[in-house]
Amino acid sequence: MKKWVRIFAITVLATGCAWVIGCGDDESSCAPDSVATLDELFKVDCAVGDTFNTRVEEYDVQAYCRNGVWDTSNVTASFGSVYDSVNHTLTDLRNNYTYKTGTLGNHVWMLENLNFKPHDYGEPYSRCYDDSEENCKKYGRLYSSSTLSQQGFCPKGWRLPSNSEMLDLMGYACERWDTKPNVGNPYYCHAAPYLKSTEGWVTNDSILPGLDSLGLHFLPTGYFWSDFRSIGVEARLWSQSGFLSIDENVLYFNYYSDVHYNALYGVRCVLDDSVSPSFKPKMSTLIDPRDKQEYKTTIIGKQEWMAENLRRIPDKTWCYENSVDSCKVYGGLYTWDEAMDIPLHYFDTTTILDYGKQGRCPEGWRIPSFDDVKELIAYTQSQGVFPLGRLMKDDDSWVYSPERAGTGEGLLGFSLPAAGYGFKKSDDEYTFAKSGHEARFWLRDGDYLSDGKYPRYMFVKVTYDENRIKIAGEDASYKHSVRCLRDVE
């Protein structure tokens, strides 16, 4: 009997099956707490449905079996890396590969896609486009969704960008180069040419170089999704739980729930050490002499903005859901003509007139213009703080998920609440939407005529699941918030 047990144990270890006598009839397979080497780890079964950790003693770190896949990213990362902040390079000591690096805002980014081949052991963690090593040298490798963790396959001390960091990158480009009214799909913008490298991009068999305005050198790496696709015309880059797509004209971000698990995309890593921005707004107060209401204000560059939405209302019908308590928290909601404080019959359906600037604001203050917003974007980006949409948000009223966009944490003092908006349900009745999810405030500029009835007027739109602002146009009957500003020296 003892001889049979010994032979049985040897057979078990040789096949990699972790049978252990004494586990019990309902506990026939038990994962080992540790193994000596990485090679021994991959002899342990990791089956679909399994979830357990095993320590690799030679690296003194945990490896993870997750639904049939061994995640060894933190094991391979333990080899280390060398970051040269003077010459702006990163050397990955796992394969002695050196990458250029650059700073954008508060983070240091790799300026080239990762080209490190992890242990595959039967799992296609990564491939070169068309399985050509020459493509890996030029474009970097394409990695599977197994990279979707904080570390991914990045060198030690580096990590995949978070969703919010990837959205910050997208927001910077969109706010700087795509700030225009009536952007169609709210989840993408037309700023791709400014991120694309100056080489390698083609369309209709013609070279279509990008501008590479941020020096991030995004090459058209293509991707794998059941087959290899789109080299020369598209790049897709993983974040910790999503990916950024860059094609001929459009930037688009996909959240984790939309990710195809069999897809392989490129990887850019960021240094796991951010620098807190030093920008500090100057806060003040405004007392509206008309009704003695007091507002906080924030001075950003040569502009002083109200840090709260206007609360000057004639009755509760100007509040979200007709609730006075809502007005106390979010401020009032106004049609464009109410915001501009003009009677409705002043509308001219053939010409958008300049009705003045003050609107419903206190004397000396004005309804912002499109140019005012562009000046605010330019100034904050010049100070290394961006994107404006995230920095505008207050810290309390927004529906928030760590996988989506972060709040501004009070950096600009703007404290924009997610007040939602109102729209006509019938001639004399309004319905309300998006409280907690969205903020809109009017601009005084007109856009274009719609159906020959009302001019369309521009407004700033901020949503909970993106980090940027969008400029849109809508007819004057919608109800949005009002923010006032004035010029300061």
pLDDT in tens, 133-167: 999 999 999 998 877 777 888 998 999 999 989 99
Instruction: Say if residues 134 and 156 touch (Cβ distance below 8 Å).
Output: no
> Based on the domain organization, do 46 and 142 belong to the same domain?
no
> Based on the domain organization, do 286 and 267 belong to the same domain?
no
- Strand 188-189 vs strand 438-450: parallel, antiparallel, or unpaired? unpaired
Residue 277 domain flag: no
- Least confident piece of the model among 217-226, 261-270, 404-413: 404-413
> Based on the domain organization, do 261 and 298 belong to the same domain?
no
Task: State how far the Cα of 469 lies from the Cα of 179, in Å rounded to an integer.
Answer: 8
Name the more confident of 132 and 21: 132
- CB atoms under 10 Å from CB of 376, counted, come to 23
> Based on the domain organization, do 35 and 85 belong to the same domain?
no
Name the more confident of 59 and 123: 59
From 219, 241, 271, give the residue that closes a domain.
Answer: 271
- Strand 107-110 vs strand 97-104: parallel, antiparallel, or unpaired? antiparallel
- Among 388, 419, 394, smallest CA distance to 407 is for 394
> Based on the domain organization, do 156 and 14 belong to the same domain?
no
Residue 72 domain flag: no
Residue 370 domain flag: yes
How far are the Cα atoms of 163, 211, 218 from residue 193, in angstroms, in the given order? Answer: 21, 6, 10
Task: State how far the Cα of 446 lies from the Cα of 159, in Å rounded to an integer.
Answer: 45
Residue 323 domain flag: yes
> Based on the domain organization, do 128 and 266 belong to the same domain?
yes
> Based on the domain organization, do 49 and 106 belong to the same domain?
no
pLDDT band for position 194 (cuts 50, 70, 90)? very high
> Based on the domain organization, do 261 and 321 belong to the same domain?
no
Q: Evaluate if residue 439 carries a pLDDT over 80.
A: yes
- Among 243, 216, 271, smallest CA distance to 142 is for 243
Q: Evaluate if residue 14 carries a pLDDT over 50.
A: no
> Based on the domain organization, do 430 and 297 belong to the same domain?
yes
From 46, 67, 88, give the residue that closes a domain.
Answer: 67
> Based on the domain organization, do 208 and 142 belong to the same domain?
yes
From 218, 237, 271, give the residue that closes a domain.
Answer: 271
Residue 276 domain flag: no
Give percent of the chain above pLDDT 70: 82
Q: Which domain holds residue 331?
A: 282-487
- CB atoms under 10 Å from CB of 117, counted, come to 16
Rounded to 10 deg, the angle between the 370-382 and 163-177 helix axes is: 130
> Based on the domain organization, do 305 and 399 belong to the same domain?
yes
**Number of domain units in the chain:** 3
Q: Evaluate if residue 75 carries a pLDDT over 60.
A: yes
pLDDT band for position 10 (cuts 50, 70, 90)? very low
